[in-house]
Amino acid sequence: MTKKEIKDRLIKLLLKSQRKSGHEYVEITDKTVPYDNLPGFDSLILVEAIMNVSEELNYEFSGRDIFWTASHEKNHHNNIKEIVDKISNVINK
């Protein structure tokens, strides 16, 4: 699966989660950080988003796998490009 296909599916799923949770539509770009830029994106929406991405791509992910990167100093919330890169690295091994 290409990175563009992954990105398109990811954005579709994130928008679906936003809409379903009653939050407004926002434009999602490569630089969008779901935790910081999507209204109301919290742990409940995160769980739904992970389940939807896992189901759509037929691979079991966790939030740590794709939505953030842990370091010894602090967690880094990933943007869409970083999430797509992580997903691509896992499913295209």
- Per-residue model confidence as pLDDT tens digits over 60-72: 887 677 888 876 6
- What pTM does this model have? 0.88
Dist CA 13 CA 47 (whole Å): 12
How many structural domains is the chain composed of?
1
Q: What is the pLDDT of residue 73?
A: 65
Contact of 2 with 30, CB cutoff 8 Å: no
CATH code of 21's domain: 1.10.1200.10
β-strand partners of 76: 69
Domain ranges, residue 42: 3-91
